[in-house]
A and B are shown apart, each in its own frame.
Chain A
Amino acid sequence: MSPVAAAVYGRRFGGARYKIVSGQLMDSNKPMFLPNVENSPQPSPYAEGIRAIQASGGEYPKIWHLLAYRPQAADHLAAFTQEIMRGECPLSPGIRELIAAFTSAANHCPF
């Protein structure tokens, strides 16, 4: 997360509800509603990513499990995100990320 986006989050939440851990806002790490989603990644780059980071002992966002569970849907979501966030547009990528961060903060979605 960029320092600017972190500042937006911080202002929104007054820094009280979410603590910032090494520049990232962490929510409580609750188990997912659907254990099978977590335990049955389909062959995909998303599953590779999970394996790699688990092997290195690193933390990762649980949305990766959602992406790995339904790669057909995830591929289109990724293509959409790529186009709307990085495609040709007069708004700079930084401004677009700021809009996304602001909306996510309004939706109380710290990740």
Chain B
Amino acid sequence: MPHIELDEKLPGIRGLFAFRPETAVPMSELAEVLLHTPGTLSMAERELIATYVSSQNDCFYCQSSHGAIAAIHLDGNEELVRQVKQNFEQAGVSDKLKALLAIAGKVQKSGKNVTADDVERARQQGATDVEIHDTVLIAAAFCMYNRYVDGLATWAPQDADSYRRRAASVARDGYLKSMQTYVKGAQVAAGGQ
């Protein structure tokens, strides 16, 4: 049961977003920029980083929802998502993504754990500074989202199908539009993206 009174129809971060639209907007906009805008890292890769960090933080709602979104970007390859969570070094992903996941895993424990060698490994595998920057910011932001969701003891559906259904619309429409479907009074500044 959540520590505060939330709309019980809305699980995970959705109940929190509906509770506080003022913070829901910038948090959703940040997710949109980090995960759902065009970039040199594919949306699948960025969702895998978010999923991995959420699983390291043991956040069931976040790893399930972002894992499902990652799988949609991967044409339904849920097995790959499972591999990344279990042992990404052995998973069927690029060496560049493995190096970025290693950095994300360090950030999940402490930002200070990231070493120059970790960054050099990513560069050797062709990662650009923007990709390294965004990996660290995705990992840091998901530590925030994960702690937000678990720190208020939100509930999470247990059936995988409910995550698959919702993932389809988020993967298509993005985070901001999805949030606006259930948060009343989510004011997005004119010209906001």
* Same complex: yes
Contact string, B24-37, partner A, CB cutoff 8 A, digits 1/0? 01110110011001
**How many contacting A-B pairs (Cβ < 8 A)?**
53
- The answer to whether B133 and A34 touch across the interface, beta carbons within 8 angstroms, is yes
Contacts A33-B114, A34-B132, A109-B111 hold; do A70 and B30 have CB atoms under 8 A apart? no
- The answer to whether A76 and B23 touch across the interface, beta carbons within 8 angstroms, is no
- How many chain-B residues does the 8 Å CB contact rule pick out? 23
- The answer to whether A79 and B29 touch across the interface, beta carbons within 8 angstroms, is yes
Size class of the A contact interface (CB-based, 8 Å): 20 to 34
Tell me if B116 is interfacial: C-beta within 8 Å of chain A. Answer: yes
Contact string, A46-89, partner B, CB cutoff 8 A, digits 1/0? 00000000000000000000100110110011011001100110
CB distance from B3 to the nearest CB of A (A): 16
- The answer to whether B110 and A34 touch across the interface, beta carbons within 8 angstroms, is no
CB neighbours (8 Å) of B29 from chain A are 76, 79
- The answer to whether B129 and A37 touch across the interface, beta carbons within 8 angstroms, is yes
Q: Residue on A with the closest CB to B34?
A: A73
What is the bound-complex CA distance between A39 and B110, given in angstroms? Answer: 25
Tell me if A108 is interfacial: C-beta within 8 Å of chain B. Answer: yes
CB neighbours (8 Å) of B112 from chain A are 108
CB neighbours (8 Å) of B110 from chain A are 107-108
B-side binding surface: helix, strand, loop or mixed?
Answer: helix
Tell me if A22 is interfacial: C-beta within 8 Å of chain B. Answer: no
Tell me if B6 is interfacial: C-beta within 8 Å of chain A. Answer: no
What is the bound-complex CA distance between A92 and B22, given in angstroms? Answer: 17
What is the bound-complex CA distance between A34 and B114, given in angstroms? Answer: 12
- The answer to whether B137 and A79 touch across the interface, beta carbons within 8 angstroms, is no
Within 8 A of B (CB), among A78-111: 79-80, 83-84, 87-88, 107-109
CB neighbours (8 Å) of A66 from chain B are 133, 137
CB distance from B151 to the nearest CB of A (A): 11
What is the bound-complex CA distance between A84 and B111, given in angstroms? Answer: 23
- The answer to whether A76 and B137 touch across the interface, beta carbons within 8 angstroms, is no
- The answer to whether B119 and A33 touch across the interface, beta carbons within 8 angstroms, is yes
What is the bound-complex CA distance between A51 and B110, given in angstroms? Answer: 31
- The answer to whether B137 and A83 touch across the interface, beta carbons within 8 angstroms, is no
- 21 intermolecular pairs with C-beta atoms under 8 Å apart: A33-B116, A33-B119, A34-B132, A36-B129, A37-B129, A66-B137, A69-B130, A69-B133, A70-B33, A72-B33, A73-B33, A73-B137, A77-B30, A79-B25, A79-B26, A80-B26, A83-B22, A83-B26, A87-B22, A87-B23, A108-B110
